[in-house]
Amino acid sequence: MRVRRQKRAATVETIVVEVKRALDEQWLPRIYRDRIRTQRTRAYVLPTATRNARVEIQHTLLGIELKVGRRRLHCPDLPTARYLATFARLGCKSVAVPYDITRISRLADDLESAFHRMLLLAELATEGRRTDFRRNVRARLLSDARREIEEIGAGPTVPQFNQTTRQRGA
């Protein structure tokens, strides 16, 4: 999972492709498609924020809040806040949240580590390059991940329950 150091002639696109290849199973949209959207989920709309809005998780007297720019969102628990924070850092508008809250903690761990691994690999691949080149690689990775996640979609607002009300016997 190591990214080869690029020659000086490498373009932003070649470095982005190499980072995606190095991430493989840990590419954020792939985790989202294969492990999140395959389960029963509900759609969650994140607030639109400015381009470089800070994303923070705050512990208040009323519970856990996710602060995106100037907007605060109440979250039921810390794993949900961590889960949503990863997508807010990407700049996604809406995402799917697993309906089964027991699965969110593990997914939040995987998403956070994949996000930071992506940024670290981009940093290593652009080592010794100009700041604007490094910034372009990072921005391209984030926009590609955001675009792919938005193409996959957030799914229905309310999950489908396949239950019959007919009783046996009678």
Is residue 125 within 8 Å of 104, Cβ to Cβ?
A: no
69-112: pLDDT as tens digits: 989 999 999 999 999 999 999 999 999 999 889 999 999 999 99
Say if residue 169's pLDDT is above 70. Answer: no
76, 101 contact by CB (below 8 A): yes
Q: How far apart are CA 111 and CA 141, in angstroms?
A: 15
In angstroms, the CA 92 to CA 49 distance is 10
Q: Can you give the pLDDT at residue 32?
A: 96
CA distance 148 to 4: 25
Tens of pLDDT, residues 101-159: 999 999 999 999 999 999 999 999 999 899 999 999 999 999 999 999 999 988 777 66
Which two tokens mark 167?
A: 């009783």
Q: Name the pTM for this structure.
A: 0.84
- How far apart are the C-alpha atoms of 105 and 70, rounded to whole Å? 25
Q: Which residues of 120-137 are buried (b: 16+ CB within 10 A; e: fewer)?
A: ebbeebbeeeeeeebebb
Place of tokens 């997508």: 87
d(CA 47, CA 66): 11
**% residues pLDDT > 90 (the chain):** 71
Q: Where are the domains of the chain?
A: 12-152
Residue 152 CB coordination number (10 Å):
16
Beta strands in 6-150 (DSSP E): 41-45, 55-60, 63-68, 71-75, 94-98
